[in-house]
Amino acid sequence: MATVQVPEIVVRRLPLYLRELMKMGAEGREITSSQELGARLGISSAQIRKDLSHFGEFGKQGTGYNVDSLAGELKRILKVEKAWDVVVVGIGDLGRAVARNTGFVDRGLRIVALFDSDSAKIGNRVGDLTVETTADMVASIRTHGVRVAMLAVPAREAQAVAEKLVEAGIQAILCYTPTSLSLPVNVRVEYLDPVLRMQQMTYYL
């Protein structure tokens, strides 16, 4: 893996390549090409080759890429060749839907704990997990050494809960809450707000 700084936009595209390669593997495909990947993803073949070149040489000219081998390399690069433990905080409609999603494990993520501050939800089962109180959240996360969290609490609570997550040792947060968090620079935060995405889409209508 190259030691130079890889542009963030490149890293954001890698999971797209991995997802498509996993689809191909499920279809029984053994070989693909940058042209085929590009056609399936709407990305130019030149861009795909350039993105992959940040991490080494993959495939052979005239032969293409071995689907399983390239998928394995991308898993290694993205560090999802193993499953990362994840906690979900905020078990409303969205939190429950996320907790019930069975597709995480195959893609390197495993939800191991659910937390909420609502006494009416604490103790309820969601899938194979029981909702725990946020009062025990810091100790529980520290005990299990979890580093990744999904945050789906009301906006007014998000900053305080996120700070507790950082205190517990969380280093990466996927925030479903429509707000902006102010956290230490070493904590990676990604935002997933469907309203913002739709507002971006309506610009083009």
Beta-bridged to residue 114, according to DSSP, are 88, 131
99 lies in the same domain as 128: yes
pLDDT at 62 over 90: no
- Write down the mean pLDDT value for the chain: 91
Whole-angstrom Cα distance, residue 115 to residue 103? Answer: 20
Arithmetic mean of pLDDT, 152-166: 95
Single residue among 59, 78, 97 that ends a domain in this structure: 78
Q: Is the pLDDT at 26 greater than 80, yes or no?
A: yes
Domain CATH number, residue 28: 1.10.10.10
C-alpha 26/C-alpha 22 separation (Å) is 6
User: What's the total number of domains in the chain?
Assistant: 2
Comparing CA positions, the residue from 100, 101, 103 lying closest to residue 131 is 100
Please give the pLDDT value at position 1.
42
* pLDDT band, residue 17 (cuts 50/70/90): very high
Reported confidence tier of residue 32, pLDDT bands at 50, 70, 90: very high
Last residue of a domain, one of 78, 94, 117: 78
* Least trusted range by pLDDT, from 139-148, 158-167, 194-203: 194-203
Q: What is the CATH number of the domain that holds 173?
A: 3.40.50.720
